[in-house]
Amino acid sequence: MPDQLISINPATGKEIASYLIHDEHYVEKALKQSVKTFEDWRRLPFSKRAVVLKNIAKELRKEKDKLVKLASLEMGKPIQQGYYEVEKCASTLEFYAKEGAKFLANEIVKTDARKSYVTFQPIGTVLAIMPWNFPYWQLFRAMAPTVMAGNVMILKHASNVSGCAMAIEKVIKNAGAPKGLMQTLLLPSSRVEKLIDDSRVAAVTLTGSTAAGSKVAEAAGRNLKKAVLELGGSDAYIILEDADMDTAIEIAVRGRLVNSGQSCIAAKRFVVVKLRRKEFEQRFTEQMKAATYGDPMDEKNKIGPMARHDLRDQLHDQVQKSIAKGAKLLCGGFIPDGPGAYYPPTVLTNIKKGMPAYDEELFGPVGVIIEAKDEADAMRIANDTIYGLGGGIISKNRARAEKLAAEELQAGSCFVNDFVHSDQRLPFGGIKHSGYGRELGEFGIREFVNIKTVYVK
């Protein structure tokens, strides 16, 4: 087993830094500190917890230039998108600082008792297992509600963003947060199960692949511990006959290329009714061809490298296998010469069931176009997937599209005339193989609490 975690710049293929893996003594010390901190933190009033969250938000903004550069170096995030990510983290901390007490206020219930009510009490240490694609946002969208509710957190981040993981811990420390409120453990994935087994870990939240989620769910279930899983997605965007094509193209390109296509809620499958397919196909392909990719530090590039070479190669293999099964390549679809894990914006059409481009999640800048006979067929295709994270409908008939989004599209987030994105005010999560539980909004802060009945006769 290696004793170090190595960060590789995906734009150059060169090593940035190495980090010593934390040994068992370090892990034990961290767990003991979590228990100690929780006993004090859970007793603080919401007002004092809110001050800590707001101070962390201030520190994030203070250090944003360093944080953004580090994310670009470690996982290739386009520089401007990095600034947006850090700001979203800060605003979410402020949101829960303001709204947390209201979300967790006691709820009076009239019964035969003199008094009866529901109260929401923290449960302890929550283990956060986070991915590399949004190295700050994934952690803070889980941490802000969890910590405001009175819990403490331990972070096991993706190995290729260990620098970002340590930077998060430093930001929280420099903000004056209590020691042990959020601790980073640098560990390989093989040691996660032992952490979940530890009685001092009360619950676990994971954002990652469906395969990783299945393993974490198994370990959490064996220990009868609560888990929230936000997993993969293959979001379908349905372009109906009456869609405004300018709107559809703007949403499709932006939704597909956000974070260089490496987002669980990126637009991935474009299900277009037959009468509009050729027009959408032509205009979408033109825009994808025009999107520039290259050095993520250069603001003109909308697309950086993929986070790792093996992920780029896996995506290319999915594209090639789809073509071998009859898919038509409209642009991209090749591995560029030179260093870096780059992959050009790619469009595939003539997609059928049985192809990787139909059945699997394509985690990169590849858009696939699937023709539907009509609206009913489009809904069938959109729902014909093991995933259920998000989806969109583009139509001028907002009332009709809203009804389809609310009642027919099988996903945790359904957007009309916009691309799917997370919002601190709204619950976020999926169904089917995209996981279970919710983050954000009022539902997110109630995931890791004891929903306790108090009955006074």
Judge whether 421 lies within some domain.
no
Same domain, 179 and 271: no
Mean pLDDT on 293-302: 93
Question: What's the pLDDT at 282?
Answer: 98
Same domain, 279 and 195: no
What does pTM read for this prediction? Answer: 0.97
Give the residue from 121, 122, 125, 123 showing the smallest Cα distance to 195. Answer: 125
Is-contact 415 392, C-beta < 8 A? yes
Judge whether 426 lies within some domain.
no
Same domain, 222 and 270: no
Judge whether 371 lies within some domain.
yes
Residue 204 has pLDDT above 80, yes or no: yes
Catalytic residue among 164, 264, 331, 414: 264
Whether residue 264 lies in the annotated active site: yes
10 Å Cβ neighbour count for 119? 14
Question: What's the pLDDT at 278?
Answer: 98
> Domain range spanning residue 328?
235-416
Whether residue 230 lies in the annotated active site: yes
Mean pLDDT, the chain, whole residue set? 97
Q: What percent of the chain has pLDDT over 70?
A: 100
10 Å Cβ neighbour count for 86? 22
Same domain, 449 and 362: no
Judge whether 273 lies within some domain.
yes
Q: Are strands 4-9 and 14-20 parallel, antiparallel or unpaired?
A: antiparallel
Question: What's the pLDDT at 236?
Answer: 97
Same domain, 179 and 290: no
Same domain, 325 and 294: yes
CA distance 46 to 31: 24
Catalytic residue among 74, 85, 94, 230: 230
List of residues 6+ apart from 399 with CB closer than 8 A: none
Question: What's the pLDDT at 1?
Answer: 56
231-265 pLDDT, tens per residue?
999 999 999 999 999 999 999 999 999 999 999 99
408-417 pLDDT, tens per residue?
999 999 999 9
Tell me which H or E stretch contains 15: strand 14-20
Q: What percent of the chain has pLDDT over 90?
A: 99
- How sure is the predictor about 216, in pLDDT bands with cuts at 50, 70 and 90? very high
Judge whether 427 lies within some domain.
no
Alpha carbon 352 to chain centroid, angstroms: 28
Judge whether 100 lies within some domain.
yes
Same domain, 378 and 440: no
Same domain, 189 and 201: yes
CATH number at residue 119: 3.40.605.10
CATH number at residue 258: 3.40.309.10
Judge whether 177 lies within some domain.
yes
Residue 273 has pLDDT above 60, yes or no: yes
- Residue 115 in tokens: 């008094």
Give the residue from 141, 161, 361 showing the smallest Cα distance to 256. Answer: 361
340-399 pLDDT, tens per residue?
999 999 999 999 999 999 999 999 999 999 999 999 999 999 999 999 999 999 999 999
| Domains in the chain, number | 2
Judge whether 215 lies within some domain.
yes
Phi-psi region of 164 (alpha: psi -120 to 50; beta: other; left: phi over 0): alpha
